[in-house]
Amino acid sequence: MNKIIAKKQLSATVFQMEIEAPEIAEARKAGQFIILQLGGEFDERIPLTIADADPVKGTITIIFQAVGESTHHIALLKEGDYIENLLGPLGNPTDVRHYGHVVCTGGGIGAAPLFPIVEAMKAAGNRVTVILGARTKELVILEEKMRAVADEVIIVTDDGSYGEKALVTEPLKRICETTQVDCVVAIGPPVMMKFVSLTTKPFGIYTIVSLNTIMIDGTGMCGGCRVTVDGRTRFVCVNGPEFDGHLVDWDNLLLRMGTFRAQEEEAHHRCLVGLDTKEGEA
Amino acid sequence: MHPKKQLLDDAAKLLLAELEGKELTARERNQIPLQEMATQDPSERILNMNEVALGYTEAQVRIEAMRCLQCKTKPCVKGCPVGIDIPAFILEAEKGNYAKAVSIIKESSLLPSVCGRVCPQELQCQMYCTVGKAKKDVEQSVSIGRIERFVADYTREHGLDEIPHVGDDSGKSVAIVGSGPASISAAADLRREGHRVVLFEALHKAGGVLVYGIPEFRLPKEIVEYELEILRKMGVEIRLNYLVGKTRTVDELFDKDGFDAIFVGSGAGLPRFLDIEGENSIGVFSANEYLTRSNLMKAYAKTNALTPMYRSKRVAVFGAGNVAMDAARTAKRLGAEVVSIIYRRTETEMPARREEIAHAKEEGIEFLYLLAPKRIIPGEDGRVKEVEVIECKLGPEDEDGRRRSMMIEGTESLRSYDTVIVAIGNDSNPLIKATTDGIETSHKGTFIVDPSTCATSLEGVYAGGDIVLGAATVILAMGQGRKAARAMNEYLATL
């Protein structure tokens, strides 16, 4: 049982929770994730990246977007409530080292898992540029924390409501053309990571992506998360989640992400109906 | 074909009235007919997840027990990997002393309700049974598994189980990695000696393959829960959501947490794929994934479960072990119209339990022998559309004595499917090896242990079950757990 110590709403659909999990907090490194299951007989297991951890307090921080039925349920939890099942830290840590100039690119909620990597890259002596992209101003998260750590932060929004009206690939391309870049890290929706990889490829810049495929156990026993990397089948949960973006079969990954789309849409509809009822009662 | 429990019970009662109290000669015992076990009707059971085999009635179990000749040489016992005193417990069952029967079994096996259901008895105890030998038909052997199942179910349902005795606190503590059958039996035997025992399980439910792998229709999950509860009552601590190798390494369990010895029972959970074209198409699942979704995550409960299940009409299952049978029968229950087992050998070589093969056939699973998948062909949407198969023939025996399968070039053809389940086996779990220095493993990744003690190359670390054997059976895993515990108890006494 893991107690929720603090909860904060970062935007209309994005929530931050600090949760008691002393052993995970102690073991965790940047780039790793957890699997969370609420505890009911029918609850699903969902992967979430560890956005921050405090080994002294024995807590980890997760940031998630309420996008479907399970994440809506988690979003309804309050401080003092418990999350029954929390497994981690899972996956391999980010390959943090002194590269030189590292550009960290986060799309939407991807800024959350990106933050510990930005911190670690900075601590390893890199010059760190952060590009944060979001659909609209309200969805930009962690800007202050990023500014406190990174050398430079660039914000882009799809609708131009904040920062530059652009996709993350536009400032990224500009930076690659004008300055020396030694490593790019991209975390966000798969399509964004695909285009970041396509952007850096002509420059030959090593590009780390953090894949967020469908997962169940997160420990390597099912292969639900498998992807093709450099022609080989790899399990994201144990061989990743980070891979060389230039070697990932993005089209297969994008297709596989849609395996359960029909069921997810039904579930999402069901949960929105559920939420309406609850608000009506209140 | 599927007599109701009532009918079987009526016949057994009549016979019991005739035989009860008589001194039976071996000849008379030999004439008692094998008791058939009632099952759910196939047309009904493919619509539910409930247990298929319904178990004996009390009259039936007493009659079946009378078929045992109480051989002095006990040939059946040598077929049991944990050496249960089979004639002794059957004699108690014959007398109606079910609790006594269970306590005899529990001297050797902590999971009689489970093993009575899932052991391949035709290859173990029942293969050596004198009655079956005399009748030249292993199917005519005394139904040891069914009797074991009955007595265990009876004591559970009547609250007659005793919690095994636990010795005084030894001051030593043991960490057990994994909570499957090997770990469960090791935990019980170590706890009996008074050691503190902590089981570390990565998933959110304990039981290993008993909860995520074997479906409800073969092994009701409440039975697994019950058996684990006995372990808890003995004082064994079960820590869920704890992945040894990640949350803590083996070294840290010794150094940070102060454990005196470690038993690794982390199993063979790494699914093998065929590495053929199209295997990452949408709709291709490892059997582990398919069964974990259905069993552990309860995805078969379509209206309640948040974990989705793929909707299938035509399912191809590659492989022919118990896992393949379980996956095929699950797919059928989830609404698939056609489910084919595609196997490159023939029925004789199939490794699955005979009873499960028979049940699968009754449920309308199609068996395609001497056929191997060559590639999976997706449609434009990336979803499985067809499987290209090739015909095979049997060749000479390999080193394991199993006949090789050889593809016949030029016999390729296409079969239409929307789902593929790959059930060609599992490899051992690589995480402990990858995060612990000094553990010797084979080229297959299994732990190399001293066969008499299950000790690994690292002092204080023992291992058993599928992590040593490769994917094997529940009872073999339990046998290893017991062997390791015996050696660990000796080792701990020297500390």
Helix (H, G, I), strand (E, B) or coil at B484: helix
Shortest CA distance to A50 belongs to which of A37, A33, A66? A33
Our CA-based measurement puts residue B244 at a distance from the nearest CA of chain A, in whole angstroms, of 10
Helix (H, G, I), strand (E, B) or coil at A7: strand
Q: Are A171 and A195 in contact (CB under 8 A)?
A: no
Task: Select from A84, A221, A233 the Cβ nearest to the Cβ of B280.
Answer: A233
Name beta bridge partners: B314: B338
The whole-number mean pLDDT for each consecutive block of 10 residues of chain A, a chain of 282 residues, reads: 94 93 95 94 94 96 91 94 96 96 95 94 97 93 94 96 94 96 96 97 97 94 95 95 97 93 75 46 32
pLDDT tens-digit map of A160-187: 999 999 999 999 999 999 999 999 999 9
Q: Tell me whether strands A152-157 and A164-165 are parallel, antiparallel or unpaired.
A: parallel
Task: Select from B243, B293, B301 the Cβ nearest to the Cβ of A216.
Answer: B293
Regarding pTM above 0.90, the answer is yes
User: Could you report the predicted ipTM of this complex, rounded to two decimals?
Assistant: 0.91
Task: Select from B241, B269, B292 the Cβ nearest to the Cβ of A216.
Answer: B292
What's chain B's Rg over C-alpha atoms?
23
Q: What is the pLDDT of residue A266?
A: 76
**Which one-letter DSSP state was computed for residue B277?**
B
Helix (H) or strand (E) holding A16: strand A14-20
CA–CA distances in Å: residue A98 to residues A145, A182, B105, B296: 22, 10, 62, 43
Q: Are A103 and A131 in contact (CB under 8 A)?
A: yes
Q: Are A206 and A183 in contact (CB under 8 A)?
A: yes
Our CA-based measurement puts residue B428 at a distance from the nearest CA of chain A, in whole angstroms, of 10
What are the strands, taking DSSP E only, across A66-100?
A: 82-83, 85-90
What are the strands, taking DSSP E only, across B208-320?
A: 237-239, 261-264, 270-271, 284-286, 314-318
Please indicate if any CB of chain A lies within 8 Å of the CB of B282.
yes
Cβ-defined contact of A221 to B270 (cutoff 8 Å):
yes
Cβ-defined contact of B382 to A255 (cutoff 8 Å):
yes
d(CA B407, CA B443): 26
Residues of chain B in contact with residue A252, where contact means CB-CB under 8 angstroms, are 280, 382
What's chain A's Rg over C-alpha atoms?
18
Cβ-defined contact of A221 to B282 (cutoff 8 Å):
no
Reading the block at residue A51, the tokens are: 């956005």
Our CA-based measurement puts residue A194 at a distance from the nearest CA of chain B, in whole angstroms, of 18
d(CA B297, CA B299): 5
Q: What is the pLDDT along chain B (495 residues), one digit of tens a residue?
A: 577 899 999 999 999 999 988 899 999 999 999 999 999 999 999 999 999 999 999 999 999 999 999 999 999 999 998 899 999 999 999 999 999 999 999 988 889 999 999 999 999 999 999 999 999 999 999 999 999 999 999 999 999 988 889 999 999 999 999 999 999 999 999 999 999 999 999 999 999 999 999 999 999 999 999 989 999 999 999 999 999 999 999 999 999 999 999 999 999 999 999 999 999 999 999 999 999 999 999 999 888 899 999 999 999 999 999 999 999 999 999 999 999 999 999 999 999 999 999 999 999 999 999 999 999 999 999 999 999 999 999 999 888 778 899 999 999 999 999 999 999 999 988 899 999 999 999 998 999 999 999 999 999 999 999 999 998 889 899 999 999 999 999 999 999
Residue recorded with tokens 């077929």: B79
Residues of chain A in contact with residue B203, where contact means CB-CB under 8 angstroms, are 87, 217, 219
Among A217, A238, A248, the residue to mutate for chain B (most B Cβ within 10 A): A217
Helices (H) and strands (E) in chain B, counts: 20, 18
Q: What is the pLDDT of residue A265?
A: 78
Q: How many CA atoms lie within 13 A of B488 on its CB side?
A: 39
CA nearest to A90 within chain B? B246
Q: Are A104 and A129 in contact (CB under 8 A)?
A: yes
Cβ-defined contact of B282 to A258 (cutoff 8 Å):
yes
Q: What percent of chain A has pLDDT over 90?
A: 87
Query: What angle in degrees, to the nearest 10, is found between the helix axes of A250-257 and A190-200?
Result: 170
Q: What is the pLDDT of residue A279?
A: 35
In terms of DSSP H, where are the helices of B373-473?
A: 431-435, 466-469
Residues of chain A in contact with residue B309, where contact means CB-CB under 8 angstroms, are 263
Q: How many other C-beta atoms are found inside a 10 Å radius of the C-beta of residue B51?
A: 18
Q: What is the pLDDT of residue B447?
A: 96
In terms of DSSP H, where are the helices of A36-168?
A: 69-75, 111-123, 143-149
Q: What is the pLDDT of residue A271?
A: 60
CA–CA distances in Å: residue B482 to residues B76, B450, B464, B465, B476: 19, 14, 9, 10, 10
